Structure formats: C-alpha cells, structure tokens
Amino acid sequence: MNTKKHIIIAIDGPSGTGKSTTAKIVAKDLGITYLDTGAMYRAITFAALEKGVAPTNKAGIDQLLQSTKIRFDNNNQIVINGINREKEIRGKQVSEAVSPYSAIPEVRSVLTQWQREIAGERSCILDGRDIGTVVFPNADFKFFLVTDLKVRAERRYQECLQKGIAMTLEEIEKNLAERDRIDSSRATAPLKKADDAIEIDTTQLSIEQQVKKIEDRVGVVA
C-alpha cells in the first residue's frame, strides 16, 4: 500500500494500447490529476499546421513554442491560445503529422518542462512514450503497455467512429505502424521501456482489467 502524499505514476507505450483511457480512470479512482501529455504534442502539431510551420523550420518552431499557450480546461480538454481544440487535435491531419513534430528536440524540451512544472505541484498520472525514461525517470510507479498492432488499430477505429472522425481501419493501422517506427527510432527521447517499468500486455485485457493491474500495484494514495 502506498501512503505517500505526492506521487507520480508514469504509463508509457505505443499508440492504441489504452494508456490514456486507463490513466484517466486510475486518476479518478485515486483522486489525482491526469496529465494528457499526448494531447500537448497534438496541440503543438495542430498549431504548427494551422500556421504552416514545417517540422524542419527551426526558427518557426521556436517562435511557435513562444507564442502558443496550452492548458487543460475543467473537463481536461485541450485549450490552445484560449480556444478549445479537443476535437481538432484528434483528427486525421494531426494524427498523421504528430510524430515528426514530437521528434523535434526543442518541442520535447519545452513540453517536458511544462509537464514537470504541472506535476511538481500535485500528484499526477501521465501517459506517453518517454514519461518513465525522460520526463520523470524517478517516477514512483512506471508501467509500459504493449498490444498487438491489429488490436490497437481496431480500438482506435472504434474511437474514431464514436467521435465522428473519418478514418478507415486500414488508414489507422498504417498510421500506427508508422508512428511506432518514427517514435522508436527518433534520436531524442525514443519510445522504449524503462528498465524498472512493469510491462503489461493489454491485447487480451479489458480496460477494467488494465486499471486493476495498475491500481493493485500502486495501492491506496493517502
């Protein structure tokens, strides 16, 4: 049982493994903050696409990071420069472009700092690709989720249907495979399991089972 008042829980893994959904439920059950780091990278990507700033435009990216204000509203939805952009950042255009922007060292450095500032003030659960290895290498609990690619694609497809996002199953599977390749091979903060992370294969698990596995490890937060 964990009785530490300020804790950090890191959940890493590829897209579509159920990281965000699981993290949100654990956060609610434990009464701690869910910090959606993936949404932050999607927000920067959306802002860059909106302003026509290419990933290779270093000066443009630097200016974008200085002029873009990202926050979460009371419903934990992303707000960019005062406007709710939750639906836009989940769309096909952002999904296909997010990995190149996420791989930019300056982007990762700035967003990592923002994430550390937020989590430094309160207990948080964060999900992403480098939370346990780079953002919070000293996190109290680290988990790494893995899932079969086709299962991940089907899950994401169902999410898109529910949100009215027009993407085919084939497009999603191709997008996930490409994101895996880019995220795992990038020079800065690549996707990889932390040495001390607990791996959970979610291929055959329901969200409820994923949540239970994590909460059983974490225990009760006082």
Is residue 19 part of an annotated ligand binding site?
Answer: yes
3-class secondary structure per residue, the chain: CCCCCCCEEEEECCCCCCHHHHHHHHHHHHCCEEEEHHHHHHHHHHHHHHHCCCCCCHHHHHHHHHHCCEEECCCCCEEECCEECHHHHCCHHHHHHHHHHHCCHHHHHHHHHHHHHHHCCCCEEEEECCHHHHHCCCCCEEEEEECCHHHHHHHHHHHHHHHCCCCCHHHHHHHHHHHHHHHHHCCCCCCCCCCCCEEEECCCCCHHHHHHHHHHHHCCCC
Q: Is the pLDDT of residue 222 over 50?
A: no
Is residue 137 part of an annotated ligand binding site?
Answer: no
Does residue 59 or residue 183 have the better pLDDT? 59
pTM of the model: 0.79
147-187 tens-digit pLDDT: 999 999 998 899 889 888 888 999 999 999 998 898 888 88
Q: Is the pLDDT of residue 75 over 90?
A: no
Does residue 59 or residue 38 have the better pLDDT? 59
For 31-51, what is the mean pLDDT? 93
For 10-30, what is the mean pLDDT? 92
115-136 tens-digit pLDDT: 998 888 889 999 988 899 999 9
Is residue 31 part of an annotated ligand binding site?
Answer: no
Is residue 16 part of an annotated ligand binding site?
Answer: yes
The pLDDT of residue 185? 87
The pLDDT of residue 110? 95
Q: Is the pLDDT of residue 220 over 70?
A: no
Contact 7, 32 (CB under 8 A): yes
> What superfamily does domain 8-202 belong to in CATH?
P-loop containing nucleotide triphosphate hydrolases (3.40.50.300)
Is residue 20 part of an annotated ligand binding site?
Answer: yes
- Percent of the chain exceeding pLDDT 70 equals 97
Q: Is the pLDDT of residue 1 over 60?
A: no
For 182-194, what is the mean pLDDT? 86
Is residue 13 part of an annotated ligand binding site?
Answer: yes
Q: Is the pLDDT of residue 24 over 90?
A: yes
